[in-house]
Protein backbone atom coordinates (compact mmCIF):
# COMPACT_ATOMS: atom_id res chain seq x y z
CA UNK A 1 0.00 0.00 0.00
CA UNK A 2 2.88 2.36 0.81
CA UNK A 3 4.39 1.72 -2.59
CA UNK A 4 1.07 2.51 -4.26
CA UNK A 5 0.71 5.77 -2.33
CA UNK A 6 4.30 6.72 -3.10
CA UNK A 7 3.85 5.87 -6.78
CA UNK A 8 0.64 7.97 -6.98
CA UNK A 9 2.31 10.89 -5.22
CA UNK A 10 5.32 10.89 -7.57
CA UNK A 11 3.21 10.53 -10.71
CA UNK A 12 0.68 13.10 -9.55
CA UNK A 13 3.48 15.61 -8.93
CA UNK A 14 4.99 14.80 -12.33
CA UNK A 15 1.62 15.22 -14.05
CA UNK A 16 0.97 18.53 -12.29
CA UNK A 17 4.45 19.79 -13.16
CA UNK A 18 4.05 18.77 -16.81
CA UNK A 19 0.62 20.39 -16.98
CA UNK A 20 2.01 23.58 -15.48
CA UNK A 21 4.91 23.67 -17.94
CA UNK A 22 2.67 23.00 -20.94
CA UNK A 23 0.21 25.65 -19.75
CA UNK A 24 2.97 28.21 -19.26
CA UNK A 25 4.46 27.46 -22.68
CA UNK A 26 1.03 27.68 -24.29
CA UNK A 27 0.36 30.97 -22.54
CA UNK A 28 3.69 32.36 -23.70
CA UNK A 29 3.00 31.35 -27.30
CA UNK A 30 -0.49 32.86 -27.23
CA UNK A 31 0.82 36.06 -25.62
CA UNK A 32 3.60 36.33 -28.20
CA UNK A 33 1.16 35.75 -31.08
CA UNK A 34 -1.24 38.34 -29.68
CA UNK A 35 1.56 40.89 -29.38
CA UNK A 36 2.69 40.17 -32.94
CA UNK A 37 -0.87 40.40 -34.24
CA UNK A 38 -1.52 43.71 -32.47
CA UNK A 39 1.76 45.17 -33.73
CA UNK A 40 0.94 44.16 -37.31
CA UNK A 41 -2.58 45.51 -37.03
CA UNK A 42 -1.35 48.84 -35.62
CA UNK A 43 1.31 49.13 -38.33
CA UNK A 44 -1.19 48.35 -41.09
CA UNK A 45 -3.67 50.86 -39.69
CA UNK A 46 -1.02 53.60 -39.47
CA UNK A 47 0.26 52.86 -42.98
CA UNK A 48 -3.26 52.81 -44.39
CA UNK A 49 -4.00 56.20 -42.86
CA UNK A 50 -0.70 57.57 -44.16
CA UNK A 51 -1.45 56.15 -47.61
CA UNK A 52 -4.89 57.74 -47.69
CA UNK A 53 -3.43 61.10 -46.62
CA UNK A 54 -0.65 60.92 -49.22
CA UNK A 55 -3.12 59.97 -51.94
CA UNK A 56 -5.45 62.79 -50.98
CA UNK A 57 -2.59 65.29 -51.19
CA UNK A 58 -1.75 63.87 -54.61
CA UNK A 59 -5.36 64.07 -55.78
CA UNK A 60 -5.52 67.71 -54.70
CA UNK A 61 -2.61 68.70 -56.95
CA UNK A 62 -3.86 66.40 -59.73
CA UNK A 63 -6.98 68.55 -59.94
CA UNK A 64 -4.81 71.45 -61.06
CA UNK A 65 -3.14 69.32 -63.73
CA UNK A 66 -6.52 67.94 -64.81
CA UNK A 67 -7.74 71.49 -65.30
CA UNK A 68 -4.62 72.12 -67.37
CA UNK A 69 -5.54 69.12 -69.53
CA UNK A 70 -8.96 70.68 -70.05
CA UNK A 71 -7.44 74.07 -70.88
CA UNK A 72 -9.00 75.75 -67.83
CA UNK A 73 -5.83 76.46 -65.87
CA UNK A 74 -2.07 76.65 -66.14
CA UNK A 75 0.50 75.10 -63.86
CA UNK A 76 3.75 76.48 -62.52
CA UNK A 77 7.10 74.79 -61.89
CA UNK A 78 6.16 74.84 -58.19
CA UNK A 79 3.02 72.87 -58.99
CA UNK A 80 5.15 70.30 -60.79
CA UNK A 81 7.50 70.08 -57.79
CA UNK A 82 4.49 69.61 -55.50
CA UNK A 83 3.19 66.84 -57.77
CA UNK A 84 6.59 65.12 -57.78
CA UNK A 85 6.87 65.37 -53.99
CA UNK A 86 3.37 63.95 -53.48
CA UNK A 87 4.05 61.10 -55.89
CA UNK A 88 7.26 60.30 -54.00
CA UNK A 89 5.39 60.40 -50.69
CA UNK A 90 2.67 58.07 -51.99
CA UNK A 91 5.30 55.68 -53.29
CA UNK A 92 7.28 55.65 -50.03
CA UNK A 93 4.19 54.90 -47.95
CA UNK A 94 3.22 52.06 -50.29
CA UNK A 95 6.72 50.60 -50.38
CA UNK A 96 6.79 50.46 -46.57
CA UNK A 97 3.80 48.12 -46.81
CA UNK A 98 5.57 46.02 -49.45
CA UNK A 99 8.51 45.50 -47.11
CA UNK A 100 6.24 44.38 -44.27
CA UNK A 101 3.66 42.39 -46.27
CA UNK A 102 5.32 40.62 -49.22
CA UNK A 103 1.98 39.39 -50.61
CA UNK A 104 1.25 43.00 -51.65
CA UNK A 105 4.33 43.16 -53.89
CA UNK A 106 2.54 42.85 -57.25
CA UNK A 107 -0.18 45.31 -56.24
CA UNK A 108 2.35 47.85 -55.00
CA UNK A 109 4.54 47.42 -58.07
CA UNK A 110 1.53 48.13 -60.29
CA UNK A 111 0.62 51.11 -58.14
CA UNK A 112 4.20 52.42 -58.37
CA UNK A 113 4.19 52.02 -62.16
CA UNK A 114 0.96 54.03 -62.33
CA UNK A 115 2.44 56.74 -60.10
CA UNK A 116 5.56 57.11 -62.21
CA UNK A 117 3.58 57.09 -65.46
CA UNK A 118 1.43 59.82 -63.96
CA UNK A 119 4.50 61.89 -63.15
CA UNK A 120 6.06 61.44 -66.60
CA UNK A 121 2.90 62.37 -68.46
CA UNK A 122 2.29 65.40 -66.21
CA UNK A 123 5.83 66.61 -66.87
CA UNK A 124 5.37 66.30 -70.66
CA UNK A 125 1.87 67.76 -70.84
CA UNK A 126 1.67 71.31 -72.17
CA UNK A 127 -2.09 71.62 -72.57
CA UNK A 128 -5.21 70.00 -74.01
CA UNK A 129 -3.52 69.11 -77.31
CA UNK A 130 -1.20 66.54 -75.71
CA UNK A 131 -3.20 65.62 -72.61
CA UNK A 132 -4.44 62.19 -73.73
CA UNK A 133 -1.50 60.33 -72.17
CA UNK A 134 -2.03 62.24 -68.91
CA UNK A 135 -5.74 61.39 -68.84
CA UNK A 136 -4.94 57.72 -69.44
CA UNK A 137 -2.30 57.82 -66.68
CA UNK A 138 -4.81 59.36 -64.25
CA UNK A 139 -7.28 56.59 -65.11
CA UNK A 140 -4.63 53.89 -64.61
CA UNK A 141 -3.62 55.50 -61.32
CA UNK A 142 -7.23 55.49 -60.13
CA UNK A 143 -7.65 51.81 -61.02
CA UNK A 144 -4.39 50.77 -59.37
CA UNK A 145 -5.14 52.86 -56.29
CA UNK A 146 -8.56 51.25 -55.92
CA UNK A 147 -7.13 47.73 -56.35
CA UNK A 148 -4.37 48.48 -53.85
CA UNK A 149 -6.82 49.83 -51.26
CA UNK A 150 -9.12 46.81 -51.68
CA UNK A 151 -6.20 44.46 -51.04
CA UNK A 152 -5.21 46.38 -47.93
CA UNK A 153 -8.81 46.33 -46.68
CA UNK A 154 -8.92 42.58 -47.28
CA UNK A 155 -5.73 42.06 -45.32
CA UNK A 156 -6.98 44.24 -42.45
CA UNK A 157 -10.05 42.07 -42.02
CA UNK A 158 -8.37 38.70 -42.57
CA UNK A 159 -7.12 36.28 -39.96
CA UNK A 160 -4.58 36.34 -38.31
CA UNK A 161 -4.37 40.13 -38.62
pLDDT digits (tens, 9 = 90+) for 84-118: 999 999 999 988 888 888 888 999 999 999 999 99
Give residue 117's pLDDT. Answer: 96
If one compares 118 and 155, the residue with the highest pLDDT of the two is 118
Contact 67, 10 (CB under 8 A): no
Question: Which domains, and CATH codes, for the chain?
Answer: 42-156 (1.20.120.230)
90 closest CA partner among 144, 41, 134, 139: 144
Q: How far is CA 114 from CA 13, 85, 153, in A?
A: 66, 15, 20
* Residue bearing the bigger pLDDT, 82 or 26: 82
53-66 pLDDT tens trace: 998 999 999 999 99
Mean pLDDT, the chain, as a whole number?
Answer: 88
**To the nearest whole percent, how much of the chain has pLDDT over 70?**
98
Amino acid sequence: MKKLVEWLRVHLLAALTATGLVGAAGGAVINDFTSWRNANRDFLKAQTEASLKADQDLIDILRKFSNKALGKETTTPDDLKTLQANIAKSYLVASALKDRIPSLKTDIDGYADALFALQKTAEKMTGPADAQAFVEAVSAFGNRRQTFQKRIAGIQTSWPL
